[in-house]
Chains A and B, each alone.
Chain A
């Protein structure tokens, strides 16, 4: 196991290097960060020149990349085009995204396993048909439309119904919150419920389909039939043998998905004004801000690599061996 892990980690270093170079060149060449400044009649050419020097725009791309590498190996993420340090922005954005994504994924996976297993076990029942319908529905809904619907029915109307601010549409917490710990928890929950629901509905749809089909596969397999023939209780067969194997594809998908989603659920974040990794990336790209995009890339790429590794390890761990029950 250990040599396997080490080998994988070693391979990812050149991977990170190449991807960071490609992205750097791409962002650096996609536009001029000082364009607005140049257009502004009140700003003198000398000021523009000085800003250019500050941002190293007068140097060739390779040199700029070299400067970035030199800084990053010391842990210095640099400053963005406006001179604001990148590290605190990244840390904050990561925190925001993690908060949303971890909660949502946990609930989505739990729900998906439940629904997927029941669907598979009670195949072609009303439950199966309705959950299939629901899954396809949520999977096909455009995120921003779902979000708008949720804002209207999940927040505005509910608040009107109860004549209190229960559910919020903007931000992670109330701006001017005063109150005890429990009240604060309630406030955070009120802010998290809509964006989490959006993410959950869409992820759950995907995962429950995986669970269902892989569960169906497993339930048809020989060893399950053998276990039943040996007289094991139905539920024991399900939980100790079938489920564990059925979860393998799901584990792989979730692990890979986590890597993707830590890059920021861009649309959800934008619609609910959660300034997380997705927003950071979009802003970085729009402003042609190399340091920001590179920092984002490092985090996301590292997470993807690690979670790929975890998926492989989990797969090895879950490899089916029937234990004598």
Chain B
């Protein structure tokens, strides 16, 4: 019959086609990826080329410094369009942006005065010179004095009394009303004051809050003071950065960086494999990491950044208010095991975090917690409980005065990583006679309300040491544990006005040591991050402090 022959013909074609496909899949031995990593100096790097960087967030505004639009990717993308006086290297050390500021000096400690000298050749991409006016605008927008501005943060800028220009605006003198020891962390970016005023229809405040909202932005206003400028922004799709021809400093190597917004991180590996992205910095999940590792021609790096997980003990809880009980909890927990099971799945280099202020890799890092809490000590935990007057009941759980040692572990749901952590903690604590209950909450309100016994959440660290104050000082806004130690308070007060960096770091470590003794909180581990990039690109390197684009001006094609 006619139809039967047709069917067989079709089947034959399909078989042939699938055989072809099968032959093409499988081992690709002719991939040329995987050559030796050669250390080249920047002189050997080639100019030109385009790199596609997959962004996990689409910025709602080019100005990410507002409270409404403060996203990490906003700073990653605009970091080299509006660079400032410094940026952080992978070790968290501040690198001066010598193209922009030829010198930065603390000329007087009392009254605190800092003088910046702007490069004489520094101009915005529309030809307007970069001057103290831009520094002044940056300060005014973030000092919190004018309520109309909506900055994401005011730390440091609120302590500045005045920002004056001289020498044709090329010298900036910043006078502080209150001493601020992290002065060198200020002016990390710089906004073009005149362009912002224009974007706000003449109103610099409107320009700051709304002028660069990407839905309505006029890119002509996005003048650049760095090696790249924004040339295109397609909402819902991508944006493009191109080499800024008007940049007076060392030019970038790449001609173009295209940034598609791939907001679902799980789709980024396929994009990398299909050459629709060359560099990606997705939130690390174990399947994603394994997928990326399997792609030929892509190098992946796991780094441990500034976001770290920890436990906070509520001092209002009748048990946790007692120091021995907190110490017992600390000893009963096996942090090594937790690290092995969670961040350890991503990398063998995952470590227990033994310092609340500094991170491993930073020169100032001291593993202050390693001595007492480095290794699990169930026997020691039990002893401490007994010292505090607790006695083990028939079910193995300790109790005192008829009150069983039952503690709730609370985290914000849904969060698979924290749920796993809590489950591990529960099992570990049980072995030491502590009954832990899992009590997740749907929002973070439990922190402010004090509705928790043991809180499991995270902080983002950084280079501004004074921002630790509100977490650990008496009645601090972020001191959810409710801990109070006069010595800690005094040390903070001293450290926050101490200009000698080494002295300051020393004081911070003293604070950390005191906190390990009191144990209001227990650091667990740093959250792993993934940076993936094509082998044909030279330069990308993980930087937990500044993000994946920290050295985008030094990226080049091999």
Contact residues of A with B, CB < 8 Å?
31-32, 35, 37-44, 46-48, 50-51, 81-85, 88-89, 92-93, 96, 122, 125-127, 148, 151-153, 155-157, 159-161, 165, 168-173, 175-176, 270-273, 275, 279
A161 to B23, CA, bound (A): 10
Q: Interface with A: B95-103, B127-135, B152-160, B422-430, which one?
A: B152-160
Q: Interface with A: B266-274, B325-333, B533-541, which one?
A: B266-274
Question: Do residues A157 and B467 form an inter-chain contact, with CB atoms below 8 A?
Answer: no
Question: Do residues A39 and B3 form an inter-chain contact, with CB atoms below 8 A?
Answer: no
23 contacts across the A-B interface (CB closer than 8 A): A38-B444, A38-B448, A39-B447, A42-B152, A42-B155, A44-B144, A51-B67, A83-B68, A83-B213, A126-B4, A148-B270, A151-B270, A153-B21, A156-B270, A157-B21, A157-B24, A170-B274, A175-B237, A175-B260, A273-B261, A273-B262, A273-B267, A275-B236
Q: Interface with A: B112-120, B375-383, B470-478, B514-522, which one?
A: B470-478
Query: Which residue from B50, B150, B445 sits with its C-beta under 8 Å from A47?
Result: B150
Q: How far is the CB of A286 from chain B (nearest CB, A)?
A: 11
Given contacts A42-B155, A156-B270, A171-B260, 16 further A-B contacts (CB under 8 A): A31-B442, A35-B443, A47-B151, A82-B68, A82-B213, A84-B215, A92-B236, A127-B3, A159-B275, A165-B274, A169-B271, A170-B260, A170-B271, A175-B260, A275-B261, A275-B263
Q: How far is the CB of B500 from chain A (nearest CB, A)?
A: 25
Query: Which residue from B50, B235, B261, B274 sits with its C-beta under 8 Å from A169?
Result: B274
Question: Do residues A156 and B470 form an inter-chain contact, with CB atoms below 8 A?
Answer: no
Q: How far is the CB of A43 from chain B (nearest CB, A)?
A: 6
Interface residues of B in 147-171 (CB under 8 A from A): 147, 150-155
Q: A50-B147, A89-B215 are in contact. Are A171 and B264 (CB under 8 A)?
A: no
Contacts of B237 in A (CB 8 A): 171-173, 175, 275
Question: Do residues B262 and A156 form an inter-chain contact, with CB atoms below 8 A?
Answer: no
Question: Do residues B267 and A169 form an inter-chain contact, with CB atoms below 8 A?
Answer: yes
Contacts of B277 in A (CB 8 A): 170
Question: Do residues A83 and B24 form an inter-chain contact, with CB atoms below 8 A?
Answer: no
Most chain A CB within a 10 A radius of its CB, from B240, B263, B270: B270
Interface residues of B in 349-405 (CB under 8 A from A): none
Contacts of B16 in A (CB 8 A): none
A41 to B153, CA, bound (A): 8
- One digit per residue, 1 when the CB lies within 8 angstroms of any chain A CB and 0 when it does not, for chain B 203-223 equals 000000110011110000000
Most chain A CB within a 10 A radius of its CB, from B150, B152, B237, B277: B237
Contacts of A46 in B (CB 8 A): 144, 147
Q: A170-B262, A171-B237, A176-B240 are in contact. Are A125 and B3 (CB under 8 A)?
A: yes
Contacts of B7 in A (CB 8 A): 126-127
B85 proximal to A (CB < 8 A): no
Q: Which residue of A lies closest to B262 (CB)?
A: A273
Question: Do residues B150 and A175 form an inter-chain contact, with CB atoms below 8 A?
Answer: no
Q: How far is the CB of A219 from chain B (nearest CB, A)?
A: 18
Question: Do residues B444 and A35 form an inter-chain contact, with CB atoms below 8 A?
Answer: yes
Question: Do residues B67 and A37 form an inter-chain contact, with CB atoms below 8 A?
Answer: yes
Question: Do residues A96 and B236 form an inter-chain contact, with CB atoms below 8 A?
Answer: yes
Question: Do residues B271 and A88 form an inter-chain contact, with CB atoms below 8 A?
Answer: no
Query: Which residue from B25, B60, B447 sits with its C-beta under 8 Å from A157?
Result: B25
Contacts of A168 in B (CB 8 A): 274, 276
Question: Do residues A271 and B267 form an inter-chain contact, with CB atoms below 8 A?
Answer: yes
Q: A82-B68, A84-B213, A175-B237 are in contact. Are A42 and B154 (CB under 8 A)?
A: yes
Q: How far is the CB of A191 from chain B (nearest CB, A)?
A: 10
Question: Do residues A44 and B154 form an inter-chain contact, with CB atoms below 8 A?
Answer: yes
Q: Which residue of B lies closest to A88 (CB)?
A: B215
Provide the main secondary structure of the chain A interface: helix
Most chain B CB within a 10 A radius of its CB, from A48, A125, A175: A175
Contact residues of B with A, CB < 8 Å?
3-4, 7, 20-21, 24-25, 28, 50, 52, 60-61, 67-70, 144, 147, 150-155, 209-210, 213-216, 234-238, 240, 256, 258, 260-264, 267, 270-271, 273-277, 442-445, 447-448, 467, 470-471, 477-478
Question: Do residues A270 and B264 form an inter-chain contact, with CB atoms below 8 A?
Answer: yes
A123 to B379, CA, bound (A): 76
When A and B form their complex, which 3 residue pairs have the shortest distance between CB atoms, in order from nearest? A42-B153, A275-B236, A82-B60
A29 to B220, CA, bound (A): 41
Q: How far is the CB of B483 from chain A (nearest CB, A)?
A: 16
Question: Do residues B21 and A151 form an inter-chain contact, with CB atoms below 8 A?
Answer: no
Question: Do residues B263 and A273 form an inter-chain contact, with CB atoms below 8 A?
Answer: yes
Contacts of B275 in A (CB 8 A): 159, 165
Q: How far is the CB of A310 from chain B (nearest CB, A)?
A: 29
Question: Do residues B274 and A84 form an inter-chain contact, with CB atoms below 8 A?
Answer: no
Question: Do residues A92 and B235 form an inter-chain contact, with CB atoms below 8 A?
Answer: yes
Question: Do residues B264 and A271 form an inter-chain contact, with CB atoms below 8 A?
Answer: yes
Contacts of B24 in A (CB 8 A): 157, 160-161
Question: Do residues B274 and A43 form an inter-chain contact, with CB atoms below 8 A?
Answer: no
Contacts of B214 in A (CB 8 A): 84
Question: Do residues A51 and B68 form an inter-chain contact, with CB atoms below 8 A?
Answer: yes
Query: Which residue from A126, A159, A173, A279 sits with its C-beta under 8 Å from B274?
Result: A159
Question: Do residues B274 and A155 form an inter-chain contact, with CB atoms below 8 A?
Answer: yes
Q: How far is the CB of B31 from chain A (nearest CB, A)?
A: 10
A204 to B443, CA, bound (A): 42
Q: Which residue of B lies closest to A161 (CB)?
A: B24
Contacts of B3 in A (CB 8 A): 122, 125, 127
Contacts of A89 in B (CB 8 A): 215, 235-236
Question: Do residues B152 and A40 form an inter-chain contact, with CB atoms below 8 A?
Answer: yes
A161 to B263, CA, bound (A): 29
Question: Do residues B152 and A39 form an inter-chain contact, with CB atoms below 8 A?
Answer: no
Question: Do residues B478 and A41 form an inter-chain contact, with CB atoms below 8 A?
Answer: yes
Q: A41-B477, A82-B68, A83-B210 are in contact. Are A93 and B236 (CB under 8 A)?
A: yes
Q: A125-B3, A170-B262 are in contact. Are A156 and B238 (CB under 8 A)?
A: no
Q: Which residue of A lies closest to B264 (CB)?
A: A270
Q: Which residue of B lies closest to A39 (CB)?
A: B444
Q: How far is the CB of B68 from chain A (nearest CB, A)?
A: 5
Contacts of B50 in A (CB 8 A): 176
Q: A39-B444, A127-B3 are in contact. Are A273 and B264 (CB under 8 A)?
A: yes
A169 to B442, CA, bound (A): 35
Q: Which residue of A lies closest to B148 (CB)?
A: A50
A152 to B273, CA, bound (A): 9
Most chain B CB within a 10 A radius of its CB, from A85, A153, A176, A271: A176
Query: Which residue from A50, A122, A148, A175 sits with its C-beta under 8 Å from B238?
Result: A175
A152 to B271, CA, bound (A): 11
Contacts of A85 in B (CB 8 A): 215-216
A47 to B61, CA, bound (A): 18
Contacts of B470 in A (CB 8 A): 41
Contacts of B21 in A (CB 8 A): 153, 157, 161
Question: Do residues B260 and A51 form an inter-chain contact, with CB atoms below 8 A?
Answer: no
Contacts of B273 in A (CB 8 A): 156
Q: Which residue of B lies closest to A87 (CB)?
A: B215
A92 to B276, CA, bound (A): 22
Contacts of B264 in A (CB 8 A): 270-271, 273
Contacts of A170 in B (CB 8 A): 260, 262, 267, 270-271, 274, 276-277
Q: How far is the CB of B304 from chain A (nearest CB, A)?
A: 21
A169 to B276, CA, bound (A): 8
Q: Which residue of B lies closest to A273 (CB)?
A: B262
Query: Which residue from A32, A156, A273 sits with its C-beta under 8 Å from B443?
Result: A32
Q: How far is the CB of A151 from chain B (nearest CB, A)?
A: 5
Contacts of B52 in A (CB 8 A): 175
Question: Do residues B477 and A156 form an inter-chain contact, with CB atoms below 8 A?
Answer: no
A44 to B478, CA, bound (A): 12
Question: Do residues B240 and A175 form an inter-chain contact, with CB atoms below 8 A?
Answer: yes
A44 to B151, CA, bound (A): 9
Contacts of B68 in A (CB 8 A): 51, 81-83
Q: How far is the CB of A322 from chain B (nearest CB, A)?
A: 29
Contacts of A159 in B (CB 8 A): 274-275
A237 to B444, CA, bound (A): 68
Contacts of B443 in A (CB 8 A): 31-32, 35
Most chain A CB within a 10 A radius of its CB, from B144, B236, B256, B448: B236
